């Protein structure tokens, strides 16, 4: 397999030819990006948690409430335990950044799904048959897998920039406080970090522009709109607090992304099957065929779910 077309697509996006990456290369690129992103956040997290020490006094979960232990005629188990215990802060910080590392592994996949769906909508394939939508999504996702490669710049620089900001870093003396502070430290508020994010986002947008124009044979105007959206999905973390971190469960992001993509690709089949069930008991044997605008409406709804999955995986903050 020649790497020349892939290198040309990255270094000269305006010359993106009428080709699409092979499925094997695209999957390899996505897996590599997921691993690198997760490793970057995990390493930066270790640097942060190494700065955390001390303990905090918390209520002893092994001891029943005072209403059961004081003045009661019954002897409840655990009432001999102390009311409070000392809990170390570092495990809480470890857990917080560990959850972020898991999301960092998922974020590139969610971004590729988002951009692949966007290219289907933007290139006029929203109302087509499912087979046509699947083919367009495949080509869009393959382009997105190449366009995501500039993210390696962010993955490489994050631990360095994070470590530079730690000498002035402080954290509250509470479990919730240290968790929030550890996550916040993963998103540096430094010009160097902002510059890297913006440069890599611009590079990604240029690849998306070339891929949209070359693979989908669109006009420059439409390719520019898609590229601008791709730029925003990456660069939006710069002005947002905590990089746009939301903090929803990872499983929710996975669920929304999978359901959204499946609904997006099988909108026509879903409509036909659901309407066929509704017509049980009625005469006639004519096949139910939805109008293109109706299929497109359902695909747009599924696209909204894909966007929600991208946000739930903290894709804005971690892509």
The string of pLDDT tens digits covering residues 285-305 is 556 677 878 888 889 999 999
How much is the pTM? 0.88
Q: How does pLDDT run across 186-224, given as a tens digit for each residue?
A: 998 889 999 999 999 999 999 999 889 888 888 889 999
What percent of the chain has pLDDT above 90? 50
Q: What is the mean pLDDT of the chain?
A: 85
Asked which of 80-94, 145-159, 188-202 is least confident by mean pLDDT, the reply is: 80-94
- Going 49 to 53 to 59 to 63, the CA torsion angle's sign is positive
Q: How does pLDDT run across 238-273, given as a tens digit for each residue?
A: 988 888 888 889 999 999 999 999 989 888 777 777
Q: Do 142 and 207 meet the contact criterion of CB atoms below 8 Å apart?
A: no
For residue 142, CA distances in Å to 30, 32, 173, 175, 227 come to: 10, 14, 47, 42, 15
* Residue that has been written with the tokens 């499946």 in this structure: 262
Residue range 294-317: average pLDDT? 92
Look at residue 4 in the predicted model and tell me its pLDDT.
66
Q: CA-to-CA distance for 257 and 240, rounded, in angstroms?
A: 23
Structure tokens at 107: 């974020």
Q: CA-to-CA distance for 176 and 265, rounded, in angstroms?
A: 41
Instruction: Mark 235-267 as b/e (b = at least 16 C-beta within 10 Å).
Output: bbbbeeebbbbeeeebeebbebbeebbebbbbb
């Amino acid at each position: 397999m020649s790497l020349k077309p892939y290198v040309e697509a990255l270094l000269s996006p305006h010359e993106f030819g009428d080709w699409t990456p092979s499925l094997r290369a695209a999957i390899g690129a996505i897996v590599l990006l997921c691993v690198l992103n997760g490793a970057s956040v995990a390493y930066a997290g270790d640097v942060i948690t190494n700065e955390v020490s001390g303990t905090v006094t918390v209520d002893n979960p092994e001891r029943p409430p005072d209403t059961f232990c004081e003045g009661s005629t019954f002897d409840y188990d655990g009432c001999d335990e102390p009311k409070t215990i000392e809990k170390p802060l570092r495990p809480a910080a470890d857990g917080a950044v560990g959850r972020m590392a898991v999301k960092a592994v998922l974020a590139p996949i969610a971004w590729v799904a988002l951009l692949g769906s966007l290219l289907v909508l933007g290139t006029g394939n929203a109302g087509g048959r499912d087979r046509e939508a699947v083919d367009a999504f495949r080509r869009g996702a393959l382009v997105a897998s190449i366009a995501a490669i500039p993210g390696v710049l962010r993955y490489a620089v994050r631990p360095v920039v994070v470590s530079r900001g730690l000498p002035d870093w402080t954290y509250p003396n509470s479990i919730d406080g240290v968790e929030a502070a550890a996550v916040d430290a993963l998103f540096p508020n430094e010009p160097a970090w902002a510059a890297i994010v913006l440069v890599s986002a611009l590079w990604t947008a240029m690849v998306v522009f070339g891929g949209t124009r070359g693979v989908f044979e669109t006009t420059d105007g439409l390719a520019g709109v898609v590229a601008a959206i791709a730029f925003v999905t990456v660069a939006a973390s710069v002005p947002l607090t905590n990089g746009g971190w939301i903090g929803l469960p990872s499983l929710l992001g996975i669920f929304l992304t999978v359901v959204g993509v499946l609904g997006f690709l099988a909108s026509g089949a879903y409509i036909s099957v659901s309407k066929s069930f509704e017509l049980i008991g009625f005469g006639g044997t004519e096949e139910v065929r939805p109008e293109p605008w109706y299929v497109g409406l359902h695909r747009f709804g599924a696209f909204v779910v894909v966007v929600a999955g991208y946000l739930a995986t903290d894709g804005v903050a971690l892509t």
